[in-house]
Structure 1
Amino acid sequence: MGDPGPRTVHLLLSEPTRPYDDEPTLDFLVRARGQWVSIETSVRTWDGDGLDSFLSALAEDFRGWKGERTWHSLEYDLTISAEHHSGGRVHLTWGIHDRPPVEQWHFETTTVHAAGEDMRNLAAEVRSFLTNMPR
């Protein structure tokens, strides 16, 4: 059998909620949809766990960095690793994990973004998503 080639997977962060009105806990859904995958899980963060800051730092380092940079949500249900590649591209590997204590499955997909402005736009969209929640 031949290689079927790359398959498009769409990632969506949605339905942000604050389950405890008096705490900065912020939950949201992360979904991955594509021809061969359809999963979602609830992600728990403490006020976003600095996801927007992580993405902003990647955008500001548009000239590149060595090695891998990582981020994770409070309960590790969403993880991101970032690598800067030649040609001014940032590869983000998004890990979506089953909730503890079960942890029966794990899914990863990689998105590729132009360093600089493309990453700034992604960081701004995530910042807006995380901060436009009533407290």
Structure 2
Amino acid sequence: MVLRFHQLARSFPEIPHDPMRDFLVTARCDAACVEVTVRTWRGDGLDGFLAELAEDFRGWNGARNWRSLERDLTLSAVHAGSRVRLTWGLHAPFPDDDWHFEATTEHAPGEDMRRLAGEMRAFLDADPA
């Protein structure tokens, strides 16, 4: 499974200092390729959510959840001992559509999660096209 965040752009480029950001999330595996445009307000705190998971490397009970502004991207995190399981949900962009796709990635707690949070922060803070 490959999960790629790319094509960061201003949602409303005609508005100076627009905090809205759009980006594509592509999930690709042997059986499918799914792509969703995600709209966020300054990233909706995704980088901060990942950073909090990294700081809680000793673990937590249950699932921790995050969602984008328009619920086109969701994330559920479970600490499973020596691994953190992140379930990324890509959801239908239109209310009449009723589909979603989930991809799970596993990460070591601590430094691996810190690296992921840093990469997400760098992506969201980049100067959009």
Shorter-chain TM-score range: over 0.9
Q: Name the residue aligned to 2:53.
A: 58
Q: What percentage of residue pairs aligned between the two structures are identical?
A: 55
| Aligned 8 A contact 1:97 1:103 in 2 | no
In the alignment, the residues of structure 1 paired with residue 35 and residue 111 of structure 2 have an alpha-carbon distance, to the nearest angstrom, of 29
The equivalences for 1:31-110 within 5 A come to 31-86=26-81, 88-110=82-104
**Which sections of structure 2, spanning at least 5 residues, go unmatched?**
none
The alignment of Structure 1 onto Structure 2 pairs a total of residues equal to: 126
Range with greater deviation from structure 2 (74-83 or 15-24) = 15-24
Which structure carries more relative contact order (alpha carbon 8 Å, separation 6+)?
A: 2
Q: What TM-score does the superposition give when structure 2 sets the normalisation length?
A: 0.93
Supply the AA of the counterpart residue of 1:105. W
Q: Name the residue aligned to 1:123.
A: 117
Summarize the Cα distance change of 1:134–1:32 in structure 2 as closer, same or farther, 3 Å threshold: closer
Summarize the Cα distance change of 1:28–1:134 in structure 2 as closer, same or farther, 3 Å threshold: closer
Return the index of the structure with the highest Cα Rg: 1
2:113 partner SS: helix
In the alignment, the residues of structure 2 paired with residue 41 and residue 112 of structure 1 have an alpha-carbon distance, to the nearest angstrom, of 21
Q: Name the residue aligned to 1:112.
A: 106
Q: What TM-score does the superposition give when structure 1 sets the normalisation length?
A: 0.89
Supply the AA of the counterpart residue of 1:76. R
In the alignment, the residues of structure 1 paired with residue 97 and residue 73 of structure 2 have an alpha-carbon distance, to the nearest angstrom, of 12
In the alignment, the residues of structure 1 paired with residue 125 and residue 119 of structure 2 have an alpha-carbon distance, to the nearest angstrom, of 10
Q: Residue 96 of structure 1: CA displacement?
A: 0.3
**Which sections of structure 1, spanning at least 5 residues, go unmatched?**
1-8
